[in-house]
Every structure is written in C-alpha cells, then in structure tokens.
Amino acid sequence: MSKTSNWVIAEEVAHAIRLGDPVVALESTLIVHGLPSPRNLEVAQELEAIVREAGVVPATIAVVGGVPHVGVSANKLAQLANSPDVRKLAPRDLAMAKVFGVPGATTVASTAFIAHAVGIKCFATGGLGGVHRGYQESFDESNDLTTLAATPIVVVSSGVKSILDVAATLERMESLGIGLVGYQTDFFPGFYLSTTEFRLEWRCESAHEVAQVFRQQREIGVSSALVVANSIKPSAQLDPSLHDELLKQALAAANANDVSGKAITPFLLEYFHTNSAGQSLHVNVEIVKGNARLAAEIASSLAAPSDI
C-alpha cells in the first residue's frame, strides 16, 4: 500500500499511476447502497474483472476506518458489502468521516474527487445524480453535478437515474459547464432505458475520440469533467411501460413515507428492484458492466501517445 496522510492507495494502483498506465476508478455506493446482498459483492468483483480483462487496473474507491482507500482489498470490499452501517459519503463528508473514523461508500462526486486527486483520469459508474423532481420547492440537487463541474476526469455513465428530472439536470449540466458527449448515440440515455427524448449536441464513435476530446479539454484549461453518455442496448433495457408504471408508484411511495435527501435514491432503486421481479436489478448490472468495459477502453486510449 502507498499511504499518505489523506488516503491509502493500493500498490498496484500506485504503480500504474506512476508509470502512466491505464486505471479505471469504480465507486462503492453501488456496492453498499445500490444493489442487494449478496449480488452487490459479486458485481463489485465482476466489474474489477471486466476492467482487468481489458488490461487495465481497477481501483474501487471507498472509505475504510475514515480513510479513503483507492483500490480496496478483497477482504475490505467484502466487509463493506456486508455491513449495514456504512455511510454514503459526498466530498463534504470526507473530513468528518476521517475525524470520527467511520466507514463510507463514495458517491459519484467523492469517487471523482478522490480519483482525480491521486491522478486517475477515468471513472465508470451507473447513473449520475442530478436534479430531483420537484426541485422548485426542495432545491434538491445532487452534489455530483457541482463536483463534476470542478473535477477534470472522464466519467462513463448511462445518463442520470431516470427517477430524476432529466430535463432540469441537463440544463444544470450546461450551466455548470460540464462536458457531455454521447457514445455512439445522438440521444441522452435514460439509465434503465436506452434513450430519452433529449438530443445531444456531440457524439463520439470510439474510445479514441473520447480520449482526444478529454485531452483537448485539459489542453485549453477546461476544468470540468467529461461525461460520456453510454446507452444500454434497446434489447436489454427495462420495458418502458413497466418502467413508467414503477416510477409513478415509487415516487408516490417515497412521498407517502416522507423519504427525501440522500435516502431517496436508494429507496427508489430498491422499490424498482423489489417490484420488477428482479428485472431492474438485471438491467442495472448490465449498465455498470457496459460502462466498465467502455471506461477501460477510454483509459487505455488516454494512456497511449496522443496523435493530435
């Protein structure tokens, strides 16, 4: 392990960063709060295996004993996956977690923040957080957006979670200056759904093109993330009519139970998993696998010499 006063970096990850070899960061909120046990640990291991198969080093990020770990050991990963007391930590929570020595799962925001701080250029997740429905009254907006606006890293996702206000989220991404390209698609994906009605301004046809765009962002001084919107195949998406019905029911259930803030996303995802007979769980897993594969390709392209 390579240890500093701020984080612990697995030796394999630290070695790859030093040499400029490709590394893909993976978040831990998916493991702890996004998927049910024991599937959560299995998926965490599968994602790392997918990245390794592409010749890239995986770096699952989580907070252990208050300290961020970049590249979590198998034992610690199992402990996190099976513990009911792991907090969901955004960047603002990291200092408190360290002082009080508590374990935590990193969100998109804190994973991106830590990954960039240690020199990792590419990160794979499922769906981004964004602007919640009814934000006009609640002002409920994920810290993912403001963090990505100030964190230069490539983030591969399948859009934002479909439980959010997608139109408002896209407007905020534009206002905050977050780079956004579709990967072989002209339309913003809808997480469980392969597409939404929202057309994208830019698309890339290959990992190489994504790497070129990100390099140019850094070259000209753009300090925001580059979000790569990667759609699940239409044949693998959740049935749209089932999705719409479940979303309607889930939002009503959240309102009836006064669920809000950090608790709403895991509540709504669990509602989908429970009431879709496992279909949404299967789609969720396929989403993150596909994003891990693409992120590994992009990381490899970023590690190769530039041709522009």
Spatial CA neighbour of 37 closest among 86, 89, 93, 102: 86
Strands 122-124 and 87-89: unpaired
Mean pLDDT of 13-25: 98
Residue 26 half-sphere exposure, CB side, CA atoms within 13 Å? 31
Q: Which amino acid is at 227?
A: V
**pLDDT reading at 144 higher than 90:** yes
What whole-number distance in Å separates Cα of residue 191 and Cα of residue 145? Answer: 16
**pLDDT reading at 197 higher than 60:** yes
Bridge partners (DSSP) listed for residue 23: 57
**pLDDT reading at 120 higher than 90:** yes
* Alpha carbon distances (Å) from 23 to 18, 28, 89, 300: 11, 16, 22, 8
Strands annotated E in the chain: 2-3, 8-9, 23-26, 57-64, 67-70, 87-89, 104-106, 122-124, 154-157, 179-183, 203-204, 226-229
Overall residue count recorded for the chain in this entry: 308
What whole-number distance in Å separates Cα of residue 280 and Cα of residue 65? Answer: 32
Active-site position among 88, 98, 121, 161: 161
Tracing tokens 């009836």 back to the chain, one arrives at 256
**Residue 27 annotated as catalytic:** yes
Spatial CA neighbour of 94 closest among 81, 111, 80, 77: 111
Mean pLDDT of 235-247: 94
Q: Residues 43, 81: contact at Cβ < 8 Å? A: no
Q: Say what the pLDDT of residue 73 is.
A: 92
**Residue 121 annotated as catalytic:** no
**pLDDT reading at 307 higher than 70:** no
- Per-residue pLDDT of 42-85, as tens digits, reads 999 999 999 999 999 999 999 999 999 999 999 999 998 888 88
Q: Say what the pLDDT of residue 85 is.
A: 83
Q: Say what the pLDDT of residue 204 is.
A: 98
All domains of the chain, ordered by start, with CATH? Answer: 2-303 (3.40.1790.10)
Active-site position among 27, 48, 141, 297: 27
Q: Say what the pLDDT of residue 6 is.
A: 87
* Alpha carbon distances (Å) from 180 to 9, 81, 114, 188, 224: 29, 31, 21, 10, 10
Mean pLDDT of 29-44: 87
Q: Residues 105, 28: contact at Cβ < 8 Å? A: yes
